[in-house]
């Protein structure tokens, strides 16, 4: 039986995303996001469940992952995630959450690059080396990319890269 969070306070809607999102506040005043699966003529996708599976597998592999829980809100299934931006008072640069444009020159050129395949990957890593925290995060970043390859995650694009330094 999934926990029903229908009575939680709606505080907003989660920016640009491929999935419908709501920003919620729990009765004990903790901020969360809920992601709902895409709806089709017949049923819904399992994208919300894959968030949970990825978080569990990543944790088993020793990676620091978001805390994810499957819930029901107003009759709809979704995955509930702690809002790490508010929880860690993280700085967000622009819609979509990317910090890279504010920290490294040339980010928009990377996004608009005509390069493909290995040339784009090499250019991307050269770009990342300019990031001020690269040496501190390099190992974890590469581990996350390898993890995504293993689980088939196609959603860790530059607008979903976050680095929280406490």
For 59-82, what is each residue's pLDDT tens digit?
Answer: 887 877 778 999 999 999 999 988
Most confident of 17-21, 82-86, 141-145: 141-145
User: What confidence category does residue 97 fall into, taking pLDDT thresholds of 50, 70 and 90?
Assistant: very low
* CATH 3.30.200.120 segments of the chain: 3-87
CA separation, residue 7 to residues 15, 87, 109 (Å)? 22, 21, 44
Of the candidate CATH numbers 3.30.450.40, 3.30.70.590, 3.40.50.2300, 3.30.200.120, the domain formed by 3-87 belongs to 3.30.200.120
Across the beta sheet with 9-13, what order do the strands follow? Answer: 3-4, 68-73, 76-82, 31-35, 21-25, 9-13
Inter-residue contact 107 to 41 (CB < 8 Å): no
Q: Of 144, 118, 141, which Cα lies nearest the Cα of 128?
A: 141
The length of the chain in residues reads 166
Q: pTM for the whole thing?
A: 0.62
Specify the DSSP element, H or E, that contains 70: strand 68-73
Name 154's Cβ contacts closer than 8 Å, sequence gap at least 6.
148
């Amino acid at each position: 039986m999934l926990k029903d969070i229908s009575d939680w306070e709606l505080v907003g809607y989660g920016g640009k995303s491929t999935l419908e999102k709501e920003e919620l506040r729990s009765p004990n005043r903790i901020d969360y996001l809920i992601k709902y699966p895409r709806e089709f003529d017949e049923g819904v996708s399992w994208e919300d469940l894959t968030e949970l599976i990825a978080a569990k597998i990543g944790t088993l592999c020793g990676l620091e992952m978001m805390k994810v829980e499957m819930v029901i809100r107003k009759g709809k299934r979704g995955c509930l995630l702690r809002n790490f931006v508010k929880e860690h008072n993280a700085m967000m640069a622009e819609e979509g959450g990317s910090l890279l444009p504010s920290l490294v020159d040339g980010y928009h050129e990377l996004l608009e690059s005509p390069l493909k395949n290995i040339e784009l990957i090499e250019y991307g890593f050269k770009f990342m080396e300019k990031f001020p925290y690269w040496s501190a995060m390099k190992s974890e970043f590469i581990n996350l990319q390898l993890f995504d390859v293993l689980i088939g995650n196609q959603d860790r694009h530059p607008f979903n890269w976050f680095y929280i330094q406490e």
